[in-house]
Structure 1
Amino acid sequence: MPRKKQATFTDGELRIMDVLWNKGSASVREVTEELSQKQKTAYTTVMTMLGVLRDKGYVAHEKQGRAFIYFPLVDRMQARRTALSDLLKRFFDGSPTLLMQNLLDDERLNEQDLAALKNRIEHFQGDES
């Protein structure tokens, strides 16, 4: 039976997906080398996690020579949208307003961030008229 596809990635899965999104495709060895630049990572751990991601339907692989080359089946933007939707449902009763209010109340946004948010809101208000 295939693994249940979760709405969000674990931290380890996300690190592997970041490598695949950045490279487009990679072998287990290439992913391991990339991850090991920041934190030592075992080849067998990466191989196991890529298998889990494959079973969940997030990556696929093809054989090239002696190696399997893995590539993402979901793009980064799609993953962000799915994770944000899950966050909204789980913590903010499905309300984008509650999420934004929480961000504005709890996060230290600089003037550039606030100006960018204001511009984005004005852009969406212009689309509605």
Structure 2
Amino acid sequence: MARKRSLNLTEAELRLMDVIWDRGPCTVSDVADALKELGLAYNTVLTTMRILEDKGFLQHVKPVEGRAFVYEPLVGRDEAGRNAVRYLVSRFFRNSPELLVLNVLNDEDLTARELGRIRKLLAEDAK
């Protein structure tokens, strides 16, 4: 039986997905090469990509030419981000998006420019 699709990505899974979202369909070697500064073994990348496939984030196809499977995303970066925010809201903010937004607005690291942009978006949404 297939593993239930998880809406959350681990840090390691997110690093691999970032490569695929940025580059498009990739082989395991493509992803390993893109992350070579991390010193990840080919088998580690392969295992993580198989986990991502089991979770429903990736699918692999066999190209007409060549032997290596090509992995392509089934979930886009925006959808994965929305799922992560939903999880965050449910886990830490009692299912209240308002509490999340208030927490962000009270963050001392928020710049005046960021705050202005948020205000503008809220004003546009209120129209």
TM-score, normalised via structure 2 length: 0.93
Flag the structure with higher strand content: 1
Cα contact 2:105–2:115 (8 A) shared by 1: no
Mapping of residues 40-79 of structure 1, within 5 Å: 40-64=39-63, 65-79=66-80
Q: Whole-Å Cα distance in 1 between the matches of residues 24 and 110 of structure 2?
A: 33
User: What's 1:23 paired with?
Assistant: 23
Structure 1 residue runs without a partner (length 5+): none
Structure 2 residue runs without a partner (length 5+): none
**TM-superposition CA deviations, 1:39-84 (whole Å, max 9, x none):** 1111100000111111111100111211011000011111111111
Partner letter of residue 101 of structure 1?
L
User: What's 2:6 paired with?
Assistant: 6
CA RMSD of aligned residues (A): 1.0
Using the TM superposition, give the Cα deviation of residue 5 of structure 1 relative to its aligned residue in structure 2, in angstroms.
1.4
Q: Whole-Å Cα distance in 1 between the matches of residues 61 and 109 of structure 2?
A: 45
* SS of match in other structure, 1:100: helix
TM-score, normalised via structure 1 length: 0.92
Moved over 3 A (4+): none
Using the TM superposition, give the Cα deviation of residue 7 of structure 1 relative to its aligned residue in structure 2, in angstroms.
1.7
Partner letter of residue 82 of structure 1?
N
